[in-house]
């Protein structure tokens, strides 16, 4: 089923992160949310990460096999790394494997599934009072919209998201609401011209 671009707002994402509570399961979920949101990864890319793919000192994550088998490096801001840090600490005491893994039982250290992530995000969003679709891909859309608002060039957003085509990136930016577009256009300065041309239209 196809859904319109309707990314969650910052306050909604933070509300879901808070709703996760405390403890190792919460650290894992918050870590995954920031990787989806602040690094703009697809759910499959995030779940394929390993500890060796992270370079906190550079603020970089390595996506070994993105869509179409493409490899890329992406950035993540300091706040994102701070939110991921508790999970990195928890993860270091578990068997080697994917960064976001099963925590309990005989499958400890094995891959966490996208289906389990989606179920947990939906449940927490409802508990947090978020009344819009809250899925992993929506967090990626939110990242694109926020970068555009911050003035990040479109080609940088395209590279961060791993889009082969710039047209796909522009679809992500449809999450910018009409009021924001009207406000930005309304704030434009009057046209400038040399005084010798005169002001008559």
Q: Which range (5-9, 82-86, 110-114, 166-170) has the least confidence?
A: 166-170
Catalytic residue among 28, 91, 141, 172: 172
Query: What's the chain's average pLDDT?
Result: 83
- Active-site residue, 163 included: yes
Q: Name the active-site residue from 38, 91, 141, 163.
A: 163
According to the model, what pLDDT value does residue 44 have? 94
42 is catalytic: yes
Give the per-residue pLDDT at 112. 94
The structure's pTM equals 0.80
* Residues 138-197: tens digit of each pLDDT: 998 888 888 888 888 777 888 777 776 766 666 666 655 555 544 554 454 655 555 555
Looking at 9, 67, 110, 159, which residue is catalytic? 67
Provide long-range contacts, Cβ within 8 A and 24+ apart, for 30-34. Answer: 30/83, 30/84, 30/86, 30/87, 31/83, 31/84, 31/86, 31/87, 31/88, 31/100, 32/100, 32/112, 32/117, 33/83, 33/121, 33/139, 34/76, 34/79, 34/80, 34/83, 34/84
- Determine whether 58 is an active site residue: no
Catalytic residue among 25, 110, 118, 137: 137
Q: Which of these is catalytic: 28, 38, 42, 91?
A: 42
Per-residue confidence at 4, pLDDT binned at 50, 70, 90?
low
Domains of the chain with bracketed CATH:
10-181 (1.10.443.10)
Active site residue 38: no
Active site residue 189: no
């Amino acid at each position: 089923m196809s859904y319109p671009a309707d990314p969650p707002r910052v306050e909604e994402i933070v509300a879901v992160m808070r709703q996760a509570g405390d403890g190792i399961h919460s650290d894992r979920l918050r870590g995954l949310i920031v990787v989806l949101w602040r690094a703009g990864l697809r759910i499959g890319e995030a779940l394929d990460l390993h500890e060796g793919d992270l370079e906190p000192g550079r603020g970089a994550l390595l996506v070994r096999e993105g869509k179409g088998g493409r490899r890329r490096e992406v950035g993540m801001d300091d706040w994102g790394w701070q939110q991921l840090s508790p999970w990195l600490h928890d993860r270091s005491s578990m068997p080697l494997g994917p960064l976001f893994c099963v925590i309990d039982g005989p499958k400890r250290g094995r891959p966490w599934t996208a289906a389990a992530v989606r179920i947990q995000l939906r449940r927490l969003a409802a508990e947090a009072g978020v009344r819009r679709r809250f899925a992993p891909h929506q967090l990626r859309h939110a990242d694109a919209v926020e970068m555009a608002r911050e003035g990040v060039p479109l080609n940088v957003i395209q590279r961060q998201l791993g889009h082969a085509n710039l047209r796909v990136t522009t679809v992500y930016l449809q999450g910018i609401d009409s009021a924001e577009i009207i406000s930005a256009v309304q704030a434009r300065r009057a046209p400038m011209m040399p005084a010798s041309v005169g002001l008559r239209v």
